[in-house]
């Protein structure tokens, strides 16, 4: 994720884009120089917090890169986040290729 963010740093630093990230990802993004609103880490409820923000209309696009070959202890939260994005018709990128297409749409 951080590698993707670094490749799109110029666009993501613009004031019109507000970034929200789970704990660890958010700290890495901040270290890269981005302004980020951080929520809890994913396993501690951060995925659910972001899903709630989507449901409340506070987030218009979600990038959630996941390892399709690995199991996550918070897999039900990840599935819930993806379902909430679908319910609320929010673009969701789960890999860098899709995220690049979404970035082009806002650029």
The CATH number that applies at residue 75 is: 3.40.50.1380
Residue 15 has pLDDT above 80, yes or no: no
Rounded to two decimals, what is the model's pTM? 0.88
Q: How many CB atoms lie within 10 A of CB 42?
A: 23
Task: Say whether 67 is catalytic.
Answer: no
In angstroms, the CA 81 to CA 54 distance is 9
Q: Which is more confidently placed, 76 or 107? A: 76
Residue recorded with tokens 């799109």: 8
State the residue range of the domain holding 36.
2-106
Residue 2 has a pLDDT of 85
In angstroms and rounded to an integer, the radius of gyration of the C-alpha atoms of the chain is 13
Out of 47, 67, 77, 86, the active site residue is 47
- pLDDT tens figures, 72-85: 777 888 899 999 99
CA distances from 18 to 11, 15, 63, 72 (A): 11, 7, 13, 27
Q: How many domains does the chain have?
A: 1
């Amino acid at each position: 994720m951080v590698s993707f963010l670094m490749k799109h740093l110029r666009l993501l630093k613009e004031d019109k884009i507000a970034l929200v990230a789970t704990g660890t990802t958010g700290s890495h993004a901040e270290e890269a120089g981005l302004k980020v609103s951080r929520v809890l880490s994913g396993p501690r409820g951060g995925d659910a917090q972001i899903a709630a923000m989507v449901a409340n209309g506070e987030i218009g696009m979600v990038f959630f890169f996941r390892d399709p070959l690995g199991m996550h202890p918070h897999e039900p939260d990840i599935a819930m986040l993806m379902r909430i994005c679908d319910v609320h018709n929010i673009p969701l990128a789960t890999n860098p290729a899709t995220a690049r297409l979404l970035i082009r749409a806002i650029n």
